[in-house]
Amino acid sequence: MTDPNLNPYAAPNSPVSDPPSPADHKRPKLVWVIVLFSLFGVVTGTLTTVMMAQGQFPAVSEAQEQFMDSIPRWQHGISLGAIALYLTAAIQLFRMKASAFMLYLVQFGLSILMFFVQLANSYYREVMQHGFIPLLIGWGISIAIFAAVILIPLSRALQPKVQR
């Protein structure tokens, strides 16, 4: 049964919109920059950690060599875990998922925790007495990544849904 008063040619009562264009699905350039930077960090971090664990990393000074020899295996394992977390964060950011921010944040927290664990090592303190600037620059880059990830619209789930 149809309503005889219903006009089939009347404008619809619900909002109508066009489907999203392919341009709406493009990743912002900043996402590409962060993901590529993260992937570079994953590759170099993995190579460095594996080389240090195997005793093949070239030491510049005797203090560096003593420090690398004093690192226990569990710290190498935690370093590789942090690298895996960093890779997962980069993948989630590439997929434009909101979980990327939390993954980057947890990885940053883990790196700070490892810094304080390594401070207990006298060889580490000796090696780092002249090298805190690169560490601080790395932390600054991590904080900039957090800010960028917050500013990038991360998830379509956070944006209003278009009903069809």
Each residue's pLDDT tens digit, 47-77? 999 998 998 888 788 888 888 888 899 999 9
Length of the chain: 164
Distance CA 153, CA 61 (A): 46
pLDDT at position 88 is 96
What is the overall mean pLDDT for the chain? 81
Distance CA 162, CA 141 (A): 36
Distance CA 14, CA 37 (A): 44
Is the predicted pLDDT of residue 43 greater than 70, yes or no? yes
SS3 108: helix
Q: Name the band, by pLDDT with cuts 50, 70 and 90, for residue 110.
A: very high
| Amino acid symbol at 117 | V
pLDDT at position 91 is 95
pLDDT at position 15 is 72
CA 133, distance to chain mean position in Å, is 22
C-alpha torsion 114→117→119→124, nearest 10: -70
DSSP 23: G
Mean pLDDT of 116-127: 86
Q: Name the band, by pLDDT with cuts 50, 70 and 90, for residue 126.
A: confident
Of the two residues 7 and 58, the one the predictor is more confident about is 58
Query: In the structure encoding, which two tokens stand for residue 27, read together?
Result: 């990743």
Q: Name the band, by pLDDT with cuts 50, 70 and 90, for residue 160.
A: very low
Which among 106, 96, 87 is positioned nearest to 146, based on CA atoms?
106
Kindly list the domain boundaries of the chain, sorted by start residue. Answer: 28-155
Of the two residues 147 and 77, the one the predictor is more confident about is 77
